[in-house]
Structure formats: structure tokens, C-alpha cells
Structure 1
């Protein structure tokens, strides 16, 4: 597909989208714009974009597709600027923000002028950030939510999906308010809970010196998402304020019910509470991608002798299997294995499992 594509925001998401478009539409000209000129130069040097731009307006006015891959508050400002530009007829504008209702509201002036804006949210991420981490496989099989306006034509939706076909994502059309409710429940709220759990342990550690060491095991794993960008989650929490406040009110009621069950020592209700949660959780798809990026961990029950970790990583290196993290578990209650190896994809983890199964007699566990 020919045309000019402007990517605004050359981070992990913007850079990966650019690579996907370049792969599936090699005849397109991709312009990159970022307030951080270093990222623009790096993106150009890496071949992520065809050319960098120092002018948002001039590059926007010649584009056939504009992708705003910036934080929500910045996207809203950019939409206001775009409404004052002289844009090409038929240009499609989309974004990648984690909240949609406020963005669709900010795009109203553009829509009233007959300019096509389709909200977008690729539900994928990585432990790495910046354009240097961009990759074409980031969105593969992930959900890519689109929030068209009532004025959006079917043809425009098809054209946008055609531009983005290189992502190999699963496109899903939802209303903007529904989007914020869905992501609030299964992404934004869990991040708040994870952060609050960490705060609980932080406060307790002030009087319990052994707590940090004990929290290095399973607790660190279940709160891993609390290590996400504070700036991004400040933005998301405030932009999705109403939805999150509603969910948090329900959470307060839920916790009061749990407190009452424990206070009353109602063994039957307490067991049923955990059983219901286990059943619902066990019914969730195992391999499908969701709102929160999956963690592909392999637990290895290794013997304790010098050089064992080098031995394990050496086997993986022989097979050219990349890993993203490796750590030793000291606290092992309810955790299988003492060595935890993390991978970017389920394919890498499976290759590692086969490799270590063939070359060692260690017990291996997936979670």
C-alpha cells in the first residue's frame, strides 16, 4: 500500500508499529516525529522509520495515516493541534492510548470537520522501552482494540486494519466507554492492587527486617506489574478516574465481606471464596494474550553446586535461545523450582524446556 505514514512518538509501541507497517507495506514512506530528537535519530539510524521530522505540522499535513503513539495527556494536546492544521482529504488518524473515552472526546473537533479519527489500543507491551526495543512480533496474536465514532465508515475501518495488518493482531471493535470499563477491570485496577500490596509490605518491612528477603519469592512475582512506569500509570489512573473509582468502591465492599467471613470464622464461606476464585482463574485461556503482557517463566529445580547457573545458561546459549531474566528463589513456599528463567515468548520458553529436558535430569515446571 502506497502513502505517507506519520508515527508520532518513537517509543516501543510507535517503533514496533512502524516496523510492522514497513514489513507489510514496503512502498509506504514512514516519517517519524518525537519531541526527543535523540529517539528520532536512533529510529532513523536503525531503519525503523524512513525519515525523521522536526515539524509536527508539516509532516502531519502531508500524511495519509497519522498514528499518535504518545501518552494520553499528550495525545489529547496533539489532537487539538491537528484540528487546526490543513490535513489531506481522507487522512486517517488513530492513537495507541490506554484510555479511550477522554481521547474520543478530544477528537470531537476533528470529527466535526469530517476528518477520520479511530481510537486504537494495541494490548501488548514489553519489559523494555524505547525505540531500540521495537520489534515486529510485539503485537502478534494480541488484541488490538479499535473505538470508532458513530461517523466512522466501514471503509475507513477496513483501510486502517489493512495498514496495520503487519501487526498480526486480533482487531476488536468496542465502544470507548466499554473499552475503559474493560481495561479498567482487567488492567488498570490490577496495577493499583499490585502497587498497594507492595506498599503494605514496604510499611511492614520497617519493623520486620526479614520481610524483604522473604518477599523475594512468589510475592515479587505476583506484584511484578507494580514495576511499570509510574508516570504512565499516573496518567492512566487520572484519565480513567470514574471507572477506577467505581471499581475501587466495589473492591472495598468485597474486602469488607472477606473481613467479615474471617472474623466470623466461617470456614465454609472462606473455602468457597477461594474455590470460586480458583475455578474462574483456571478457566481463563492459558495461551491467549490479554490486557496485561504475559510472563513466560520456566522454573528449574537445580542442584546446589558451583557453576550450575552457567551450565544451564550455556545449554540455552548453544541452542541460541534468548532469555530476559534469571533469578534464584530463596523463598519457595508454593513455588516450584529454585531457578526462574523468563523468556519473551511462549515459543522461547518451550524451546528452553525441550533443551533442558534433553540435556539434564532437572525437574522443570511451567506456571
Structure 2
């Protein structure tokens, strides 16, 4: 059997390995420094065989996937360049920044394979190999970033394998173009959300009402600020060229609205929000992407004993799994008083239907 090696058996690596194992004839081997991750991956049938030795994991592999953080990928390439890889093998990665790693790989004259950058634009609120699933990438975009000199046959070979295995939508893009696009729709929003949370936290230090009144809208807007600090440090440093330009554009945009407010320019302020409203309404419908969707419903219920239990029991009886439930203490910008969180969009839609049929007034984040 032909062999594929997935280096890093977490959520993304584990899900990719499972896709390859279930939908291709490849023998899928996994490498991880964590013995527990390998044990879990083998026990769950995510891979055929696990390794803590990189050399044994990649030996004879026709495809090698680097499923490690962007800050770790270059060091892993260094190690691969020292190993006798299978002639004609394809090496790819799954990182959310592409220009740095593609340029780094291009500098290896001794790298025994063709490197093609990759970025499956999907994820999960869960982490680790135990959260791996073969449907993770289905209908998501999967971007490949080959260099101009990369043989077309090699790009087609990899894209054909990934289309078959992941059922994703394959897109070919220049590395620098990918980084600017993803920087604008993912990296910049994470920075803005974190900056807003930090700003409000500073105000709250002297007046606790800032946090006490920070309810639905603020939580929705800043949800991504809870992301992993070390991961985002590495992402921003890896994509610094694109991020710096985007931050300057953002600063210019904020300066324009600041000037309009200072001047009392009614037309300019209205135009600012009108353009945003029209652009927001023109976005594609919910689908898998680089920023995870929020599967949240808000339910208007009376403030009486037992009502939370009745809502939870109703959904439980219908087989709908609730990931979280909370009572909104302040709901100035959200109609519902109960906040329900689900793992998937399918569970959200079922909950919405069952609650509506039972007479509850329900609002999702698009309402």
C-alpha cells in the first residue's frame, strides 16, 4: 500500500488522517511527540500506525502533511531535509499563513520532495485527536499555495487526493494573496476583538459596570478574543507583512470615522454604517471558514421557577445536545433571556424548530 504520513495528531492532523484512512487506499501513519496522542489515535482508528520517531513515520511516504503550529513548521522542515524521503513525495502543511513557510521550503535544495503549501479553512471548538472527525473539512475551502515553478502534475496529484479524502472545495492561490485575504478576514478581526476586550478591561479596572453590563452584543463581537495567545502570537509574526498593512488600513478607517464624529458630520457617519450594513448583508450564508461560527440561540422566556429546566428537558427529549446554557443578566441588544450554545449548526436548527413549535420565541445571531 502507498503510504501517507501526518505529522502532528491533533484536531486538524487527526481529522486529515481519518479522511485519508476512510476514503483512500493509503496506509496512514501518524507522528506526534505525545505518546498519549498516538495511543488515542490508534485506539480510535484515526491512523493505521503511530510513531514517535519522525524517520520511521515518513519512511517510504508518498505524501507528508505537517499538521503542526505555524511556529513549529519550519523546524520540522529542517528535520525532514535531513532524512532520506521517498523519491517524488509531496510535502504539504495545514497552517493558516503561507508565504513564510512556502518561501522557507523553497530555500531547501536538499528537501527530498515537492512542497505545496496548504490551508484547510475549517476547525472546531474542540481540540485534540479525540475531537477528530472525517466530516470536519466537508464543503469547507481548502487552499493550496504552490510556487509558479511547481509542476502542474504535482499540484493536480495533491488536489485530487485532498478533494477525494476531505470533500473540501480546493482553491489554488498565490501564498502572498492567501495571507492578505486570511489576514483581513481572520487575523485582523482577532486583533480588533482582543484590543476591544483589553480596552474595556482597562476601563473596568476603575468601574466594574463595564463588565457587568457587557452582555450579548459585546460577547458576540469579541468571542474570538478568547483564542490561544501563543498560537496567535506565532500567526501574527508569521504573517507580519500582511498584518501590518491591514492594521494601517484599519487605523485609517478609524481615523475617518473619528473625524466624522468630531465634526458632527451626519452624512459621513450614516454612510459609514450604511456601507457596513450593505456589505454585511451581502456576505455568503453560514458555512465553514477560518473563524468558527457561533451556534447560539436566544430564547425569550418568563422569569419563573423551572423554566430553564423545561427548555433543557424539551431539547433533551428531542435528542438535541446542549453544549452550554446561560441566563442573560443584561439584554439591551438581544431579545432572548436564555442563551443556548450548540456544537453544530444542525443541532441549532433542530433546537430552533422544536422550541418554536412549542411556542417559544427564538432568535439566532442573524435575527
- Normalising by structure 2, we get a TM-score of 0.95
Aligned-partner Cα distance in 1 for 2:323–2:114: 40
CA RMSD of aligned residues (A): 1.6
Structure 2 portions without partners, runs of 5+ = none
* The one of 96, 102, 106 aligned to 2:94: 96
Check conservation: 2:3, 2:63, Cα contact below 8 A. yes
Aligned-partner Cα distance in 2 for 1:229–1:314: 34
Check conservation: 1:332, 1:338, Cα contact below 8 A. yes
Superposition map of 1:19-98 within 5 A? 19-25=18-24, 27-98=25-96
| Residue of structure 2 equivalent to 1:226 | 225
Q: Secondary structure at the match of 2:335?
A: coil
Q: CA deviation at 1:114?
A: 6.5
Superposition map of 1:32-181 within 5 A? 32-110=30-108, 115-164=113-162, 165-181=164-180
Q: Secondary structure at the match of 2:145?
A: strand
Q: Secondary structure at the match of 2:85?
A: coil
Number of equivalent positions: 364
Aligned-partner Cα distance in 1 for 2:109–2:298: 51
| Residue of structure 2 equivalent to 1:304 | 303
Aligned-partner Cα distance in 1 for 2:103–2:61: 23
Q: Secondary structure at the match of 2:203?
A: helix
Aligned-partner Cα distance in 2 for 1:81–1:12: 23
- Further displaced range: 190-199 or 318-327: 318-327
- Further displaced range: 56-65 or 168-177: 56-65
2:362 equivalent to 1:364: yes
| Residue of structure 1 equivalent to 2:14 | 15
Aligned-partner Cα distance in 2 for 1:113–1:347: 44
- Further displaced range: 323-332 or 99-108: 323-332
2:193 equivalent to 1:194: yes
Classify 1:109/1:58 alpha carbon distance in 2 versus 1 (closer, same or farther; 3 Å).
farther
Classify 1:319/1:306 alpha carbon distance in 2 versus 1 (closer, same or farther; 3 Å).
same
Check conservation: 2:6, 2:28, Cα contact below 8 A. yes
Aligned-partner Cα distance in 2 for 1:78–1:260: 48
| Residue of structure 1 equivalent to 2:284 | 285
Q: CA deviation at 1:328?
A: 1.8
Q: Deviations over 1:152-174 (max 9, x none)?
A: 23332232233322322111110
Q: CA deviation at 1:16?
A: 0.8
Q: CA deviation at 1:196?
A: 0.2
Q: CA deviation at 1:105?
A: 1.1
Q: CA deviation at 1:58?
A: 2.2
Aligned-partner Cα distance in 2 for 1:342–1:139: 22
Q: Deviations over 1:224-281 (max 9, x none)?
A: 0011111110000111111111111121121111111111111111111111111111
Q: Secondary structure at the match of 2:5?
A: strand
| Residue of structure 2 equivalent to 1:206 | 205
Q: Secondary structure at the match of 1:287?
A: coil
- Normalising by structure 1, we get a TM-score of 0.95
Aligned-partner Cα distance in 2 for 1:194–1:284: 20
Classify 1:179/1:279 alpha carbon distance in 2 versus 1 (closer, same or farther; 3 Å).
same
Q: Deviations over 1:200-220 (max 9, x none)?
A: 110000111122121132211
Aligned-partner Cα distance in 1 for 2:210–2:189: 23
